[in-house]
């Protein structure tokens, strides 16, 4: 059985991810109490379901600390278990809740009893508590920051995560624009704004780092090759340490000013180099805005 465990912040796009998984043939269970996970998986395996997705959130807080042991037990049975964690910045989450006019799922939990005269917690307070409650899963999952992500882009990224082969480590290379902020889900961040900028070449300005003319421009600079070599050597040096620490997901973010030329090019070259290290994903945040 292939099991995708979907978790993350309320308002970060878990419903979008679950609907996508359902559309591509997964049997989906929303907000399952964690103590029932092993039992439900065993039942679904007996009934012939090979692909299962389970969504869990902070309302399972009492049992979240037991997730690592539970996942280890499921993997010991031969199950392909992957954890997808969606997150977003607090301002982005506040804006989404304001637009939908929905209450945060934890707001009632934080509220004092009616007999006690006290204010209702703010949305920001509910969000920060949720981050604390979900910390055990945050460290286990493959992180996607949906702060400025369109729903269609999120669907593509979830599909790429699911379609990738199972392995000891999922390595994601993600380009971004510093002018829009650093992705909150990045494990390692590299700044390539010091490299020659194709933006100042009139015939290259409208292209991206995925286009051959831009690649040819960047390849003419020895600085670009040296930067890629240095980043690759650092990752190669410390990758065994991440594996020994039990890490299954690592996101490397590469940023330039606008996220259009230099960082996408560097991401593609790094992905080529690490293609033999298991599941490698490429994502271009600014190009999908």
pLDDT at 166 over 60: no
| Strands of the 188-191 sheet, one edge to the other | 188-191, 249-256, 170-177, 279-284
Please report, in angstroms and rounded to a whole number, the separation of the first and last CA atoms in the chain: 35
| 35 pLDDT tier (thresholds 50, 70, 90) | confident
Give the C-alpha separation, 157 to 136, whole Å.
23
| Beta pairing, strands 279-284 & 170-177 | parallel
Sheet holding 27-30, edge to edge: 27-30, 51-55, 2-8, 80-87, 142-145
Pairing mode, strands 279-284 and 2-8 = unpaired
The pLDDT score that the predictor gives to residue 118 is 58
Domain boundaries, the chain: 2-163, 170-288
On the question of pLDDT at 168 being above 80, the answer is no
- % of the chain surpassing 90 pLDDT: 57
DSSP 8-state code for residue 201: S
Cβ atoms of 271 and 280 closer than 8 Å: yes
The mean-pLDDT minimum among 107-111, 118-122, 132-136, 239-243 falls in 107-111
> Which residues have C-beta within 8 Å of that of residue 287, sequence separation ≥ 6?
175, 208, 210, 259, 260, 264
Other beta carbons within 10 Å of 197: 19
Average pLDDT score over residue span 88-117: 76
Helix, strand or coil, per DSSP, at residue 183: coil
CB atoms within 10 A of CB 77: 12
Given a cut of 60, whether residue 106 has pLDDT beyond it is yes
CA distance 151 to 10: 15
Q: Is the pLDDT of residue 289 over 80?
A: no
DSSP per position, 29-83: EES--GGGHHHHHHHHHHTT--EEEEE--GGGGGGGGGHHHHHHHHHHTT-EEEE
DSSP state of 259: S
272 pLDDT tier (thresholds 50, 70, 90): very high
**What's the chain's average pLDDT?**
88
Position 254 pLDDT exceeds 90 = yes
**CATH 3.40.720.10 is held by the domain 2-163:** no
> Residue 246 above 70 pLDDT?
no
If we measure between CA atoms, which residue out of 143, 7, 1 comes closest to residue 64?
Answer: 7
Q: Rounded distance, CA 272 to CA 282, Å?
A: 10
How sure is the predictor about 200, in pLDDT bands with cuts at 50, 70 and 90? Answer: very high
């Amino acid at each position: 059985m292939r099991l995708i465990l979907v978790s993350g912040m309320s308002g970060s796009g878990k419903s979008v991810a679950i609907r996508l998984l359902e559309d591509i043939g997964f049997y989906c269970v929303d907000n399952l109490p964690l103590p029932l996970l092993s039992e439900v998986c065993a039942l679904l395996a007996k009934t012939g379901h090979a692909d299962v997705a389970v969504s869990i959130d902070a309302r399972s807080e009492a049992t979240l600390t037991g997730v690592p042991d539970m996942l280890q037990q499921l993997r010991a049975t031969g199950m392909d278990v992957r954890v997808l964690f969606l997150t977003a910045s607090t301002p982005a989450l506040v804006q989404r809740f304001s637009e939908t006019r929905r209450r945060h799922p934890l707001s009632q939990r934080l509220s004092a009893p009616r007999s006690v005269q006290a204010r209702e917690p703010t949305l920001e307070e509910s969000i920060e508590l949720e981050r604390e409650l979900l910390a055990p899963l945050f460290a286990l999952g493959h992180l996607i920051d949906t702060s400025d992500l369109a729903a269609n882009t999120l669907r593509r990224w979830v599909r790429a995560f699911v379609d990738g082969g199972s392995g000891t480590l999922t390595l994601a290379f993600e380009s971004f624009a510093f002018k829009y902020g650093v992705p909150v889900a990045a494990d390692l961040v590299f700044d390539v704004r010091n490299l020659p900028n194709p933006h100042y070449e009139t015939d290259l300005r409208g292209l991206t780092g995925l286009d051959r003319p831009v690649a040819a421009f960047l390849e003419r600079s020895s600085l670009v090759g040296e930067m890629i070599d240095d980043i690759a050597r650092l990752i190669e040096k410390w990758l065994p340490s991440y594996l020994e620490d039990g890490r299954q997901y690592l996101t490397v973010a590469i940023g330039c000013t606008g996220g259009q030329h230099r960082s996408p090019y560097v991401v593609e070259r790094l992905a080529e180099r690490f293609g033999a290290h298991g599941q490698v994903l490429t994502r271009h945040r600014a190009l999908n805005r």
